[in-house]
C-alpha cells in the first residue's frame, strides 16, 4: 500500500471542499464533539467529495459510522483501538491507521496489523496539550525499523520541517495547524503538495496488511 506524503487533517467537509480541488490525495476527517446525526451526514458527504477527487479518505474514530457509510479507511487512537471491533472493521474491508506515542502503544498497534502507524508529536504542537514529550527525528528512525507498513509523522510539522521529517523515515506527514490557521489554506495546501512531491516517486509500496 502506498500513501501520499501529504496528509492534511480537517474538522469538517467545508474544509474538504476547499482543499480537495488543490490536489490533495490523502486526507483525514476528524470530527469532534458533534451530534451523531451530524457525524453520519459529514462522513457520507466526505465519501462523495473524496470519490469525486480520487482522494483517499480516512475517518477518525467513528468506526461504526464508517462501516455503515461504506468508508474505506479509519484512524484509531489508542483509547478507540481498545474498544473497537477490529474484526468487524476488517470484515467491512476497511483499512486501519493507529496512533502511537510509546513503545507500549506501538506493541498494541502492531498486534492489530495496522495499515499505517502514526507517531507523534514529532515536535511540540500548539494544537492541544500533549502528555508526551516531542518524539524527535531519531524516534522516527526507530519506528521505521520496526514497521512493515507506512509510518505517519504528526505534531508540529511545518512546511520547512516536512522534508527533514520525510528524510528521517516518515512515509507521510500529517498536518493540522499549519493548514487550518493559514490565511490562505488553498495556497498553503498547494505549497505542501509541491514540497512533498519529490517523495511521491520515492515512497515504498507496502504490502496490504
pTM score: 0.95
Q: Residue 192 is placed in which grid cell?
A: 505542501
Who has greater pLDDT, 201 or 61?
61
18, 25, 30, 190: the active-site residue: 30
Give residue 127's domain range. Answer: 6-199
Query: Is 140 inside a domain boundary?
Result: yes
Q: Which of 95, 99, 139, 188 is catalytic?
A: 99
Residue 99 located in a structural domain: yes
Catalytic pick among 32, 45, 48, 128? 128
Q: Is 95 a catalytic residue?
A: no
99 in active site: yes
The pLDDT of residue 201 is 73
Cα distances (angstroms) measured from residue 181 to each of 109, 129, 144, 185: 31, 17, 30, 8
pLDDT band of 132, cuts 50, 70, 90: low
C-alpha distance from residue 68 to each of 6, 29, 40, 93 (Å): 27, 16, 9, 12
| 76 is a domain residue | yes
4: cell is 501520499
Of 41, 37, 38, 46, give the one whose Cα is nearest residue 8.
46
Q: Please, which pLDDT band fits residue 129 given cuts at 50, 70 and 90?
A: low
Provide the pLDDT confidence category of residue 128 given band limits of 50, 70 and 90: low
204 in a structural domain: no
Whether 50 contacts 57, CB under 8 Å = yes
Contact 140, 164 (CB under 8 A): no
Quick one: pLDDT band at residue 204, thresholds 50, 70, 90? confident
Identify whether 86 is part of a domain. yes
- Let me know if residue 165 belongs to a domain: yes
- On whether residue 207 sits in a domain, the answer given is no
Calculate the alpha carbon distances from 190 to 42, 111, 112, 116, 132 in Å: 24, 36, 34, 24, 31
pLDDT digits (tens, 9 = 90+) for 99-121: 999 999 999 999 999 999 999 99
Region 22-31 average pLDDT: 98
Residue range 11-39: average pLDDT? 97
In a domain, 75, yes or no: yes
d(CA 162, CA 168): 10
pLDDT of residue 12 exceeding 80, the answer is yes
Q: How far apart are CA 52 and CA 24, in angstroms?
A: 12
Active site annotation includes 25: no
Average pLDDT, the chain: 94
Query: Is the predicted pLDDT of residue 127 greater than 80, yes or no?
Result: no
* Residue 145 near residue 112 (C-beta atoms within 8 A): no
pLDDT value of residue 131: 62
Residue 21's φ and ψ, nearest 5 degrees, are -65, -15
CATH number at residue 68: 3.20.20.70
Q: How many domains does the chain have?
A: 1
Amino acid at each position: 500500500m502506498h500513501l501520499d506524503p501529504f496528509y492534511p487533517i480537517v474538522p469538517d467537509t467545508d474544509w474538504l471542499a476547499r482543499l480537495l480541488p488543490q490536489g490533495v490525495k490523502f486526507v483525514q476527517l476528524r470530527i469532534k464533539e458533534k451530534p451523531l446525526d451530524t457525524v453520519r451526514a459529514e462522513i457520507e458527504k466526505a465519501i462523495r467529495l473524496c470519490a469525486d477527487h480520487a482522494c483517499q479518505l480516512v475517518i477518525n474514530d467513528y468506526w461504526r459510522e464508517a462501516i455503515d457509510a461504506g468508508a474505506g479507511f479509519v484512524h484509531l487512537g489508542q483509547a478507540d483501538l481498545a474498544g473497537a471491533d477490529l474484526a468487524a472493521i476488517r470484515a467491512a474491508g476497511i483499512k486501519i491507521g493507529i496512533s502511537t506515542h510509546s513503545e507500549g502503544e506501538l506493541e498494541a498497534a502492531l498486534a492489530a496489523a495496522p495499515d499505517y502507524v502514526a507517531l507523534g508529536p514529532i515536535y511540540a504542537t500548539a494544537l492541544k496539550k500533549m502528555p508526551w514529550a516531542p518524539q524527535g527525528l531519531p524516534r522516527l528512525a526507530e519506528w521505521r525499523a520496526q514497521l512493515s507498513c507506512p509510518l505517519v509523522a504528526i505534531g508540529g510539522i511545518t512546511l520547512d520541517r516536512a522534508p527533514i521529517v520525510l528524510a528521517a523515515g516518515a512515509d507521510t506527514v500529517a498536518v493540522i495547524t499549519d493548514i487550518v490557521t493559514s490565511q490562505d489554506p488553498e495556497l498553503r495546501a498547494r505549497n505542501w503538495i509541491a514540497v512533498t512531491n519529490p517523495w511521491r516517486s520515492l515512497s515504498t509500496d507496502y504490502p496490504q496488511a
